[in-house]
Amino acid sequence: MVNLTIDDKQVTAPKTATIYEAAKLNGINIPILCHDSKLKPFGACRMCLVEVEQMKGRQIPACTTPVTEGMIIRTSTPDIVKARKMVLELLLLNHPIDCPVCDKGGDCDLQNLTYEYQVSANRFTDEKFQHEIDYNNPLIERDMNRCVLCGKCARICDEVVSFGALTFIDRGIETKIGCEFEGALNCEFCGSCVSVCPVGSLLARPFKFKARFWALTKQKSVCGYCGTGCNLTLGVQDNKVLTTIYDAEQGFHKGLLCARGRFGYQFINNDKRLTKPMVRKDGALREASWDEALQFVAGRLKGGNVAALSTARLTNEEFVLFKDLMKLAGSASYDHSAGYAHSALTKGLSRSFGVAASTATILDIQKSDLLLVIKTDAYETHPVVGFEINQAVKNKGVKLSILSDKRGKLGKLPGAKTLVHAPGTEIALLNAITKVILDEKLTAGTAASVAGFAELERALSDFTPEAVAGQTGIDAASIVQFARDYASAEKALIIFPTGLAYPGHNADLASAAANLAILTGKLGTEGSGVLCMAEKNNSQGAVDMGFYPANGGKDAGQILEDCASGSVKTLFVAGENPLVSYPDRSKVSAALDKVDCLIVSDLFLSETAAMADVVLPACSFAEKEGTFTSVDRRVQYFKPAIKKVGLSKSDFEIFSVLINLLGGQAPASPAAAFADIAASAPGYAGMSYAKLGEEGAFAPVDVKPALVAPAVVRPTVEQGKLALLVGSVLYHCGTLSQYGEGPMYVCPEGYVEISRADAAAHKVSEGDLLTVTSSTGSTQLKARISPRLPAGVVFAPYHFEAAQVNTIWSGAAVTWVTVGK
Partner 1 sequence: MNPITPIINGLKITLSHMFKKPITLQYPDERPKVASRFRGLHALNVSHNKAKCVACYLCPTVCPAKCITVEAAEDANHDKYAAKYEIDMLRCIFCGYCVEACPVDAVRMTTTFELANYRREDFVFGKERLLEKK
Residues of this chain that bind partner 1 (CB under 8 A)? 99-101, 105, 133, 135, 208-212, 214-215
Q: How far is CA 559 from CA 306, 335, 485, 569, 595, in A?
A: 10, 9, 43, 11, 11
List of residues 6+ apart from 388 with CB closer than 8 A: 253, 362, 365, 366
Sign of CA dihedral 471, 477, 479, 480: positive
- Regarding beta strands 231-237 and 9-13, do their DSSP bridges make them parallel or antiparallel, or are they unpaired? unpaired
Return the number of the residue (124 or 214) whose C-beta is nearest partner 1: 214
The conformation of residue 715, written as its DSSP 8-state character, comes to: P
According to DSSP, the residues that pair with 793 across neighbouring strands are: 723
Phi/psi for 567 (5° steps) reads -80, -20
Return the number of the residue (216 or 329) whose C-beta is nearest partner 1: 216
Taking the complex as a whole, the smallest distance from the CB of residue 691 to partner 1 amounts, in Å, to 38
Taking the complex as a whole, the smallest distance from the CB of residue 212 to partner 1 amounts, in Å, to 4
Asked if residues 275 and 617 have their Cβ atoms less than 8 Å apart, the reply is yes
Taking the complex as a whole, the smallest distance from the CB of residue 135 to partner 1 amounts, in Å, to 5
Taking the complex as a whole, the smallest distance from the CB of residue 241 to partner 1 amounts, in Å, to 17
CA-closest candidate to residue 207, choices 139, 121, 142, 110: 139
List of residues 6+ apart from 750 with CB closer than 8 A: 781, 782, 796, 797, 798, 799, 800, 802, 803, 804, 805
Return the number of the residue (107 or 768) whose C-beta is nearest partner 1: 107
Taking the complex as a whole, the smallest distance from the CB of residue 208 to partner 1 amounts, in Å, to 6
Return the number of the residue (27 or 100) whose C-beta is nearest partner 1: 100
Return the number of the residue (217 or 481) whose C-beta is nearest partner 1: 217
Taking the complex as a whole, the smallest distance from the CB of residue 190 to partner 1 amounts, in Å, to 23
List of residues 6+ apart from 535 with CB closer than 8 A: 226, 227, 312, 341, 381, 497, 498, 499, 500, 502, 728, 733, 734
Return the number of the residue (212 or 281) whose C-beta is nearest partner 1: 212
Return the number of the residue (140 or 706) whose C-beta is nearest partner 1: 140
Taking the complex as a whole, the smallest distance from the CB of residue 210 to partner 1 amounts, in Å, to 7
Taking the complex as a whole, the smallest distance from the CB of residue 205 to partner 1 amounts, in Å, to 9
Alpha carbons within 13 angstroms on the beta-carbon side of residue 72 total: 6
CA-closest candidate to residue 146, choices 96, 74, 220: 96
CA-closest candidate to residue 94, choices 133, 134, 122: 122
Cα(384)–Cα(156) distance, rounded to whole angstroms? 13
Return the number of the residue (52 or 102) whose C-beta is nearest partner 1: 102
CA-closest candidate to residue 391, choices 189, 250, 532, 256: 256
Return the number of the residue (99 or 332) whose C-beta is nearest partner 1: 99
Cα(537)–Cα(260) distance, rounded to whole angstroms? 12
Taking the complex as a whole, the smallest distance from the CB of residue 101 to partner 1 amounts, in Å, to 4
Taking the complex as a whole, the smallest distance from the CB of residue 763 to partner 1 amounts, in Å, to 42
Return the number of the residue (97 or 685) whose C-beta is nearest partner 1: 97
Phi/psi for 458 (5° steps) reads -65, -45
Residue 693: Cβ-neighbour burial (10 angstroms; 0-12, 13-18, 19+): exposed
Return the number of the residue (206 or 750) whose C-beta is nearest partner 1: 206
Taking the complex as a whole, the smallest distance from the CB of residue 563 to partner 1 amounts, in Å, to 48
In 694-819, which ranges are continuous DSSP H helix?
741-746, 756-761
Taking the complex as a whole, the smallest distance from the CB of residue 214 to partner 1 amounts, in Å, to 7
Cα(626)–Cα(134) distance, rounded to whole angstroms? 41
Round to the nearest angstrom and report the end-to-end CA distance of the chain. Answer: 67
Angle between helices 426-439 and 465-472 (to 10 degrees): 160
Taking the complex as a whole, the smallest distance from the CB of residue 331 to partner 1 amounts, in Å, to 50
Return the number of the residue (210 or 756) whose C-beta is nearest partner 1: 210
Taking the complex as a whole, the smallest distance from the CB of residue 142 to partner 1 amounts, in Å, to 12
Residue 277 three-state SS:
coil
Return the number of the residue (143 or 576) whose C-beta is nearest partner 1: 143
Cα(231)–Cα(216) distance, rounded to whole angstroms? 18
Cα(114)–Cα(86) distance, rounded to whole angstroms? 11
Return the number of the residue (26 or 237) whose C-beta is nearest partner 1: 237
Give the torsion through C-alpha atoms of 535, 537, 541, 546, to 10 deg: -50
Cα(600)–Cα(610) distance, rounded to whole angstroms? 9
Taking the complex as a whole, the smallest distance from the CB of residue 237 to partner 1 amounts, in Å, to 10
Return the number of the residue (181 or 209) whose C-beta is nearest partner 1: 209
Taking the complex as a whole, the smallest distance from the CB of residue 209 to partner 1 amounts, in Å, to 4
Return the number of the residue (101 or 284) whose C-beta is nearest partner 1: 101
Side chain identity, residue 546: G
Cα(158)–Cα(368) distance, rounded to whole angstroms? 22
For 557-674, strand residue ranges (E) read 570-574, 597-602, 614-617, 626-629, 634-638
Taking the complex as a whole, the smallest distance from the CB of residue 114 to partner 1 amounts, in Å, to 14
Cα(403)–Cα(796) distance, rounded to whole angstroms? 19
Cα 694 → chain centroid:
19
Return the number of the residue (9 or 208) whose C-beta is nearest partner 1: 208
Taking the complex as a whole, the smallest distance from the CB of residue 102 to partner 1 amounts, in Å, to 9
CA-closest candidate to residue 346, choices 330, 640, 355, 63: 355
Asked if residues 646 and 276 have their Cβ atoms less than 8 Å apart, the reply is yes
Return the number of the residue (115 or 135) whose C-beta is nearest partner 1: 135
